[in-house]
Each structure stands twice: as structure tokens, then as C-alpha cells.
Amino acid sequence: MKPTSWKLFCKAACPPWPTCRHSISPQRDQFCQLIARPAAGRCAPMKSNGSAQTAPNVPSAPARCKPKISVMHPADQLTVKDFLNVLQAQDTPLHSEKTPAPGQTLRPAAVLVPLFRYADAWHILYTRRADRVETHKGQVAFPGGASETGESPEQTALREAQEEIGLRPADVNTLGRLPQIITISDFLVTPIVGIIPWPYAFRVYTPEVARVFSLPLAWLAERGNFMELTRVETGRRVIAYLPQDGELLWGATAHMTMEFLKRLRLLYPSVK
């Protein structure tokens, strides 16, 4: 897919942009600033979940944006064995959102990419970061964080998921790793894919997490639901999804999602 402009992205999004049910305007404004396009008006705020709750039902798109997905999308035909097969092959080079300075030491980190099965379909669990965290305020992310001394990426991802959303390590069936990514905040992140039970009584740590939500794997794989944009100051590509359930998935989290979809052969060959 060729890089496109912010104007085209807005046109492809649920029109008109100011009426979309976006979660928090700062997240969208950060994205507008990144692509160096003017903001197109503010969206209605979305209430955050409480500190201890059962995760919301699988989100559905507004009627005018409802994706046209077949009864049994190829994504929903995948088995655990299919996931294991693609996660065993580590032939994709490391992705970088920035070029580290010579001699710079990157901080190791890990995130959990939680998969679950619901209504005969696969879904990926995401969080929205709280506004008061130090970095990536209000952005969609996977549960995760910096590694402690002596920890493996798997241990880091499971520990952070328990701290952030109350997901017990014993309840996660870890399947494997995705290629590492260097983030703009100078972390070397290892994504760990795992299957979790559903439904699940998550306990959200509100100082760090504003909301827990999920997106269908089939929706994430639909070509019309994402765009490839170009970051003006670096020329690096940025993946961004259309607003869904009041959330905007873009940046490093979108790239990790896209890498997983590519390995599962759910994307068109032109998406690199």
C-alpha cells in the first residue's frame, strides 16, 4: 500500500471526523501533529472504565462504519497450531521507529499481545493508557513495560499484564514472540503473543490504564480499515487504523499488530 496523506486518511475514516466517538481528543491531536496536518475538530470524550470491572463486550462499530466481514473470515479459521507455526519463524528484521544514536543503550521491554476466542472469532485485547503516565499518554497499547534485571521478555510481559489489568500469568498460554521493535521512546520491545480465557474479570490499575477493549482479528485484517502514512520529519511510515469503538490504533502498537497479521498471511502481498 502506498503512503497516503492525512487528508485522504480523514476522507476514508468514518465521515465526518468531528462526529466520531473518539476516546480522548489529546490522542487524536498527537496523531494529527505527528503527520503534520491540522486537526479536524474535536470528538466527544468517552468515559473510562472503573478500577475493577469485567472487560467490555467485544466492541462493535457504529452503524455507518460497520465492516463488511463474511460469516467465516479466514482469520477466524485459524487454529492455535497456525499461531504456533508462524511465531516459530523469526526471519523478519527488527523494525525501528527511530535511529538510535551511536553507542546508545536501549532499554529492554516487552508487551503481551493477548488473543481470545469469542463467538467463533479471534480477537486481540488492547488497553488505552491513562493521561497521567510518563510516556504515550492516552494512546492505545498492549499491556507491557520495561524489563527488570534478569527477566525474560515473557516474564516481563506477564508481570506487566498482571499489574496493569489483573491478568494472572497462569491464565495466559504463551505461544511465542514477534520481531522486536525500537520505539521512539528508546525502548527495545519484544512482543509476546498469548491466548487468554474469555470472558475474564480484569482488574484495571487506573493510574496507568484508562480502558480495556478488544478488536476482531478479521476487522484488523481488512484492507479498508487501515492506512499507511508518512512521518514528515523522518520519512518513516506510520500505520494507522480507522477509529473503532472510540479508539485510534496507530504507531508501534499498530505496527506490531500488522506484523502479526502478515505472518498469518491475512494481508495483501502489497502491504510490506
What would the pLDDT profile of 210-252 be if each residue is shown by its tens digit?
999 999 999 999 989 999 887 776 677 889 999 998 899 999 9
Task: Tell me which of 167 and 223 has the higher pLDDT.
Answer: 167
CATH of the domain at 202: 3.90.79.10
Q: Residue 272 — very low, low, confident or very high, per pLDDT cuts 50/70/90?
A: very low
Whether 20 is covered by a domain: the verdict is no
100-143 pLDDT, tens digit per residue, is 667 778 899 999 999 999 999 999 999 999 877 666 668 999 99
Q: Residue 172: inside a domain, yes or no?
A: yes
Tell me, yes or no, whether 180 lies in a domain: yes
Confidence band of 95 (pLDDT split at 50, 70, 90): low
Does pLDDT of 26 surpass 50? Answer: no
Q: Does 134 fall in a domain?
A: yes
The boundaries of the domain holding residue 89 are: 49-227+242-263
30 in a structural domain = no
Residue 78 counted as domain residue: yes
- List, in sequence order, every beta strand (DSSP E) within the chain: 95-96, 107-118, 121-129, 140-141, 144-146, 173-177, 181-182, 187-195, 209-216, 226-230, 237-241
pLDDT in tens, 247-268: 999 999 999 999 999 999 998 5
Structure pTM?
0.75
| CA–CA dist 272, 252 (Å, integer) | 15
**Residue 71 scores a pLDDT above 90:** no
Q: Domains in the chain: how many in total?
A: 1
Whether 115 is covered by a domain: the verdict is yes
Domain contains 156: yes
